[in-house]
Structure 1
Amino acid sequence: MKHSKLAILVSTALFASAGAYASDGNEATVSQSGDGNVTTVTQQVNSADNVATVDQMGTTNTATVTQANTDFSTADISQDGTLNIGSITQRVNTDTALATIDSTGNSNQADIVQEVNNGANAQATIMQVGDNNIADIDQINGDGATSTINQNSSGDNATIYNHWSDFADATINQNGGIGNNALIDQEASDGADATITQTGDNNTGNIFQETEVYAYNATSDTTVAVLTQEGSGNTGNVDQTGKDNNTDVYQMGNGNDATVEQSGASNMADVDQLGNGDTADVKQFGENGQAYVMQMGNTNNTATVSQYNFNNTAYVDQTGSEHGATVTQYDNDNVANVDQEGSNNSTAVMQSGSSAGMGNLATVMQVGSDDVSSVTQLGELNQAFIDQGSNSFGNNINVMQEGSGNYVGAASDLGDTNSITVNQTGTGNMVTGNANANNWYGNDIGAGTYGADNVVMIDQLGTGNLAYADSADNSSVVDIDQDGVGNEAVAESWLGTDNEIYVSQTGSDNFADVYVSGVGLNTVSVMQTDMNNNAVVNTLGSNNSVMITQGM
């Protein structure tokens, strides 16, 4: 039997004289069962407390509700079936507008538009159960508006758009499915909040917040973005423009990807990932920013933080093996902290100040074997602290500083076959004498190792530089090379046999101080060219060898 199509048009036109409502408290209720039905409800023109309710069961049905210039308006559409379309539009002074669409079935579409002075309590809610559904909420010029989309299957798409809606609160929940997409776009909406929660695999979540201190506070935007994904193969992206904005990204599962980009001052980004093969990328383009990345998983996580202005701080904390951390900071007064616990991890920190930039700080802590740490600093008054913890084997530390007044403290504790390499170019650089240095023998040791077959190499080019290096145990090497005037090299070797210390100084007014205490068979070589140089060598033990060469 064929069902005839039924089209229903309900129109309530309310006209009022100035200062008085013509008609209030209107209600329109439509119930349809069947396929291909169309319902249109229109309530408008200076009326209050209007209610529109549409209930449809079947496929390819369409329900449209329009409420314009009607205070305290409520619209509710319920659809059960497939390929249905529900649409609610509330516009122009619809104070405390309330719009709800509830659909069950596959391939349905729901749209809510609230625009132009919708009042501080406007609410829009879409609930969908089924696969391949589409939900869209647009709120324009609705300060304090609230929007929520709940979807509970696979292949769904949800979008919330806020424009000129300060303090707007947007939430998308997609649970229990795969291949879902969620987007929240908040434009010119100071103080807005955006939250996306996705459970399942291969989902994508995007939050865009573009604010420029348009309205309520001339010095701050304070938007907040929270993105939570539980499952594997998910992608999360947050893009914020403005000041004093916050981002929190939480991902639990394997093979997830998180990207945060913030433009403006005093922004904060926090990315937490629990799983393997995860990737986190944070970019901040303003000053006074803070970036936190924590990755806890067994293997193959990657964290990248890039900060492009001054006085920024980056923290990376990784637990597990074969992780990689990269921090790049441009300009001055930036701080980078990397903490890795596990084996085969790598860290790369690059800090470069502007022509007037100075005072960057890099701290790297690694516990495990076969770890690599690389720090590059360009500018003045930079500091680098690298500590590779106890029982670490096969680790490498590389530090390069170019500028003046820089400091390096590097240590590899209680492990074998480790290496430390420091290269400094400039005036008044030090590998020693900073209270924050951390290694086996204390704060006064610039570069130190404790274990067998370790190597410490320091190369300084410039004047007034100071290098202090230490090694302990057997078959270790300390090599200090200084080229310039008024430099000082201090080297120590403790315990064991077959240790080697080499000091080479090119230039005048240099000083070398070497101390060796061990069983024996240790070698010391000091070479000083030019004039007014001084070398002091003290050895304890048997069968040691000392060679000092001075002059051209």
Structure 2
Amino acid sequence: MKKVILSIIAACAITTTFAQNSASLNQSGTSNNSNSAQVGRFQTVNVTQDGTSNVNTNQQFSHYTQQTNVTQTGLTNTANTYQNADAGPSNFITVNQNGTGAGGNKALVDQSDFLTINSQATVLQSGQNLKSTIVQHYAINDVAITDQTGASNNATITQGNGSQGSTNSYAYIQQYSVFGPQDATISQLGDNNNAQIYQSNNAGPNNVATVTQNGNNNIGFLDQSDFSTVSTTGSINQVGNNNTAYLQQRGGGPFTSGSSASIAQNGNSNYANLTQYGGANNQAVIGQTGDFNVVTGVSGSSGLQIGANNLLTVTQSSLAGGPGQYAQVQQLGSGNIGTINQTGN
């Protein structure tokens, strides 16, 4: 058994000597812990920890170039980064965490896939109990960024998976709030998807935002950034090609809460823009199936609701071969119910 162990150690030493791996570590403070493992060529790790009880784990098991840079300051931060399964070349991970409370922050970035190439993942967190997860599998030229401050916020980005890849996609989650929790999730498959979620300006607590895109050239934008946006749910689901959806929910006064909005588009060239501005408990659902469906509204605002307890439903279904449908909706006041249902060409 000792001979086997010594053989493994010798093999690792030879690999480190000739495979041109590079690792740099700088720790100051108390009870910091860092563990890095490298196999392959031109792997680079830079770790700087300054604070108390920070934990870092890096794995780079690939014959292609990878780079990871982790900086942690403050209290009880945990960073786990993985670039395995012969991923690369030219994948890059950056983690920058500052723990301001005993709860600490957690970051997980995984680029472990043979077809993850030239992708970038960045985690920026300052606060306590913040959690960021970025998974890039079968991701080519993808960029994913989570940017969080405050407390108890959760951000998750997934680009590609083992069955379908993601190419030239961009995903960004920003959550700036001290009132957490906030929860944001982006999942993208296909090509050239662009999804951005903002839950900032001390919004919350208990806001939930989700963007799911499967297809090509989809753009999803969701903004629940208002001091008075509380316990609000926003969702965008796009399947197909060239879909564009914007969803914004903003509070009009103190303690605005309980609103929900959902946009689901299945087909090609669908466009939807929803804005809920004002009181509490507004409910909006927009569903489009087919080709070239459009929902818009006054002054460019689609599905505009101002007030409280409004209910808006727009359903459009059109098969290929027709020009599609067009819907314009505006509700002002409280207790309004609006329904538009269009089927056919």
Larger radius of gyration: 1
TM-score class normalised by the smaller sequence: 0.3 to 0.5
TM-score by length of 1: 0.33
TM-score by length of 2: 0.47
Task: Pick the structure with more helix per residue.
Answer: 2
Structure with higher RCO (Cα < 8 A, 6+ apart): 2
